[in-house]
């Protein structure tokens, strides 16, 4: 039994102007047989994801036949047209947006005017579009955040489907090593207040301890242990300027034993925490 044609659009109740991302509207439609749009140009990005039926999309003199699970991307300024079939017309959802952040997402996902078709990721994308539509209908002041969050989930699904191995790697081995060393340094920064070990860091980052230690020293200039000590001592100096006890400062920088902390601090700076506090 053929579905009755219907088209519903929910518009953002109060979109931001000129920001890095603005979701404009979202909707869904059961198209009529041979329903056609275009040729036309838009000044925003519009993505359709097909739920049921078949049809075609044309852009830059290229013809694409599309069915359930496929998405087609219309980019600003690109002449295009699309039409549902006569026998099994499309049922689809869509979302429209613009902004520099959106352009960056498109590029990362490998989407451009010469590659406007996405095969896969439809389950997540369709749910996201539905939630964006519902969000706009509620007209709540948090619509921006909610719509952006759902759109990011849709992009994540599309990007994984379009580029399962991620964007092409163009960086040199040296820059890759630097990036991994930086990731290790940020891990240490996040764990500086906890009791951690280099073995645990290597395990969580997916490297052998010896290899990661060598890579870290090569790129950062010090060993991971030395880097962590420096990080903790620098934080301790700042905390000693606050109305905290030495014991509280010690715990805040990952030392369970205040006496061991005091000895480490003196070895590092040539004075005890109490002496440093008096002269500061």
What pLDDT sits at residue 103? 85
Of 162, 191, 225, the position where a domain reaches its end is: 162
Domain annotation covers residue 167 = no
CATH code of residue 112: 2.60.120.280
Q: Is residue 82 part of a domain?
A: yes
Domain with 185, as residue range(s), is: 173-279
How many folded domains does the chain comprise? 2
Which of the listed residues 108, 141, 162 is the one where a domain comes to its end?
A: 162
Residues 19 and 124 in one domain: yes
| Confidence (pLDDT) at 176 | 81
Claim to verify: residue 59 and residue 127 sit in the same structural domain: yes
**Per-residue buried b or exposed e for 147-171, using 16+ beta carbons within 10 Å of the residue's own CB:** bbebbeebbbbbbebbeeeeeeeee
Residues 115 and 204 grouped into a single domain: no
CB contact at 8 A, 272 and 266: yes
Do 131 and 197 lie in a common domain? Answer: no
Same domain, 194 and 132: no
Q: Domain check: are 157 and 224 in the same one?
A: no
150 and 180 in a single domain? The answer is no
Give the whole-angstrom CA distance, residue 112 versus residue 60.
11
Asked whether residue 194 is domain-assigned, the answer is yes
**205 in any annotated domain:** yes
* CATH code at position 253: 1.10.10.60
pLDDT of 173 reads 52
Distance CA 156, CA 148 (A): 12
Tell me, yes or no, whether 65 lies in a domain. Answer: yes
* Shared-domain flag, residues 60 and 129: yes
∠ CA 53-75-21, nearest 5°, is 110
pLDDT single digits (tens) 133-152: 999 999 988 999 999 999 99
Q: Half-sphere exposure (CA, 13 Å, Cβ side) for 15?
A: 21
Total-model pTM: 0.71
- Selection from 132, 64, 57 nearest residue 94 by Cα: 132
- Name residues of the chain where pLDDT drops below 70: 1-2, 18, 168-174
State whether 123 and 255 are in the same domain: no
- 158 and 223 housed in the same domain: no
pLDDT, tens digit (0-9, with 9 covering 90-100), for 173-197: 558 888 889 999 999 999 888 888 8
Instruction: Report yes or no on 168 lying in a domain.
Output: no
């Amino acid at each position: 039994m053929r579905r009755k044609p219907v088209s519903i659009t929910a518009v953002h109740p109060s979109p931001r102007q000129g920001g890095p991302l603005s979701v404009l509207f979202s909707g869904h439609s059961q198209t009529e047989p041979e329903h056609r749009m275009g040729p036309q140009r838009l000044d925003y990005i519009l993505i359709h994801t097909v739920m049921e039926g078949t049809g075609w999309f044309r852009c830059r003199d290229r013809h694409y036949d599309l069915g359930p699970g496929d998405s087609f991307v219309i980019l600003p300024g690109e002449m295009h047209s699309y039409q549902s079939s006569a026998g099994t017309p499309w049922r689809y959802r869509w979302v429209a947006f613009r902004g520099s952040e959106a352009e960056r997402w498109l590029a990362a996902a490998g989407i451009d005017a010469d590659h406007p078709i996405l095969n896969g990721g439809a389950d997540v994308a369709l749910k996201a579009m539905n939630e964006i539509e519902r969000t706009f209908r509620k007209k709540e002041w948090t619509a921006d955040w909610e719509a952006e969050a759902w759109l990011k989930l849709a992009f994540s699904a599309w990007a994984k489907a379009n580029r399962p191995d991620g964007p092409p790697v163009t960086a040199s081995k040296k820059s890759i090593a630097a990036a991994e060393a930086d990731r290790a340094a940020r891990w240490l920064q996040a764990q500086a207040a906890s009791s951690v070990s280099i073995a645990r860091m290597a395990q969580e980052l997916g490297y052998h301890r010896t290899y990661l230690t060598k890579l870290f020293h090569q790129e950062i200039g010090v060993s991971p242990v030395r880097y962590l000590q420096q990080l903790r001592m620098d934080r301790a100096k700042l905390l000693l300027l606050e109305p905290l006890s030495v014991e509280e400062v010690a715990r805040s920088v990952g030392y369970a034993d205040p006496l061991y902390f005091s000895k480490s601090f003196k070895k590092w700076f040539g004075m005890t925490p109490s002496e440093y506090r008096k002269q500061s």
